[in-house]
Amino acid sequence: MYLKYFFTILFSPVIFCQTKDSIKNSDKGIDEVVVTGTLKPVHRLETPVPVEVYNSTFLKKNPTSNIFEALQNVNGVRPQLNCNICNTGDIHINGLEGPYTMVTIDGMPIVSALSTVYGLSGIPNSLIEKIEVVKGPASSLYGSEAVGGLINIITKSPKNAPLVSADYFTTSWLENNVDLGIKYNLGKKIQSILGLNYYNYNSPIDNNNDGFSDVTLQERISIFNKWNIERKNNKIFTVAGRFFYEDRWGGQLNWNKSYRGGSEVYGESIYTKREEIIAKYELPTTKNIHYSLSYTNHDQNSVYGNTVYLAKQQIAFQQLTWNTSIKKQDFLMGFAHRYQFYNDNTTATVKPEKNSIYSGFFQNEITISKQHKVLVGYRLDYNRNHGYIHTPRFAYRFKFTENDILRFNTGTGFRIVNLFTEEHAALTGSRTVILKENLKPEKSINVNLNYLKKFHFKNLSVLTIETSAWYTHFYNQILPDYDSNPNEILYQNLNGYATTNGINLALDYVSNFGLKIMFGSTYLTSFKHENGTKTRPILTENFSGNWGISYDIPTLFLSIDYTGNVYSPMRLPLLSNLDPRNPNSPWWSIQNIQFTYKKWRQAELFGGVKNLLNWTPNKNTPFLIARANDPFDQQVQFNADGQVLATPDNPYALTFDPSYVYGPNQGIRAFLGFRFRL
């Protein structure tokens, strides 16, 4: 039935002319200038490293309050919820767990560890100019955590920002999101943009009747200020700061703050406060030398039932890079230092952890001819706990024609684990985290082959096809073991190896009659090989697809956007052999439609429906949260070995656990909003 509607829209007789410039502009930025793949500005079609670009127009097709939700329609990228109660999440790239994805803001690694749990939902779309995505290891330039891929959020420039902007929407679930922006000058040489984001959802809903809120209630505020200081010879000097505060809770519907941290009514209440600073300065020399720094301070005050988790993290990062060209060779050298302070109230942190990583890296991009480019790179990191870590890199680009590009990339990656800031299940529910050994850094080898083809038609329509195939091999991989003991999460380095490989396809079509189509699909396999057995990790799909279909009707001043995604079954964590829940998720899909009225030059109205199919993971499932009627396990009985006993009150031998989650538990809802630019 959906194919019928698709082709009806595709071959609609409503045809009108557009300018040549509008035809060439794609929401994915086919030939934008990118910086993420090589740490220097280069046209996307010229770089040997495949970089996907998603601009602000893409983000407007399905309006969301934060970057975490906005990424759900990026091919091969899946925002993964990890808790049915507090809705923590991380971002998977090509089937790899969230900790393998590095998220940077303006190239600075300030989103990591604690902020990967709660900070991702605090990045408002209003401050984003574009998003650049690199799939595959980027550790040779960005260091630890960039094993599976990199998402670089590039903030708006004060030069290009509107004088005044406002963006507001509300939903039938009584979610409210407002973005306000203003540009101002401090004297003649300092331009600044001030942004404010406020989000509020404070109406608990329990459609699955388990006594717990279906979606976490949240109130958050984000204040962003960025300054651009004009200098001689257009030298760069930018400074940006952000303050973020969030109060979120989920739990039993009769919970209130008087129960916080107690054992009467179960609730998960998290107060998060973050301060961030980012700066970039181009040295006043004839050489192309840049100094960058960032600093974050993260305070978290959390309770999970009667478990209190207090944590503080500080990350300071500084980097010096030098870029120069000699004939057909383009050199990039750099030095970086990352310092992390971490402390919490758990028994795992006897004293505050202070950790530094010192890095040096080198890259040479060689233009052999107009058709051929080669990139070689190497990075050396030193950490006192793990010694020296080497990460080489090689890339090759073969440009058959202006519209045919083949890229080959290979490299290694590494990751130093911050266990308790990554494994939220260690705090919620009743599972205990067990470390069976001193964990070694994970290492990986990746090979990626990418092909891009553009078709220019006589009617000015453009079709871009891009496909990639990849293979990743892991050593010392650390995966949570939920299967050996239902009351524990076991962590140790894999005694063997793990592999992830697959292929993805992306189509981008811009017509001459108002139609734009974006379609992506990814097929992958992921296994760990240990002691002669092959096991598929939990929460890893074999297939995913996403689409965005946009249609402009100028005579009605109307744009229509239909977006969606679809996922194949993935293995889910069960608590016992008697657990009646399905060990695998079904096929599922989230689909949305939006109508935007654009009669006015400076303002537009938009509205639509999210989750058209009203899909939620509780459908055809006896329950999502195990033992929701006994969240403190007061009626659970254990044997002498600590195993849960099946009793008349607990026939499935379960403990309280909210980790059976793979998709958002929020059903169909309408939304309405407006945008204003001056």
Residue 517, pLDDT score: 96
Judged by DSSP in three states, 512 sits in coil
Task: Decide: 308 and 261 in contact? Cβ < 8 Å.
Answer: yes
Q: Which tokens is 381 given?
A: 């990191």
Nearest to 426 by CA among 270, 579, 309, 280: 309
**H-helix or E-strand containing 361?**
strand 353-367
Confidence (pLDDT) at 23: 43
Among 402, 537, 532, which Cα is nearest to 31's?
A: 402
Q: What is the span of the domain harbouring residue 450?
A: 2-677
Positions in the chain whose pLDDT score sits under 70: 1-31, 36, 112-122, 139-140, 144, 347-348, 417-437, 479-489
State the total domains in the chain.
1
pLDDT for the residue 139: 62
In this predicted structure, what is the pLDDT of residue 110? 74
| Domain harbouring 262, CATH code | 2.40.170.20
Q: What CA–CA distance (Å, rounded) separates 625 from 165? A: 42
Instruction: Give the DSSP H or E segment for 9.
Output: helix 2-10
The predicted structure's pLDDT at residue 324:
93
Local structure of 537: helix, strand or coil: coil
pLDDT at residue 486 in the model: 61
pLDDT of residue 11: 37
Predicted local distance difference test score (pLDDT) of residue 117: 61
CA end-to-end span of the chain:
43
CA gap 257, 242 in Å, rounded: 28
Query: Helix, strand or coil for residue 663?
Result: coil
Q: What residues does 349 pair with on adjacent strands?
A: none
Is the CB of residue 571 less than 8 Å from the CB of residue 539? yes
| Tens of pLDDT, residues 567-607 | 999 999 898 889 999 999 999 999 999 999 999 989 999 99
Residue 661's φ and ψ, nearest 5 degrees, are: -150, 140
Instruction: Count CB-CB contacts under 10 A for residue 214.
Output: 22
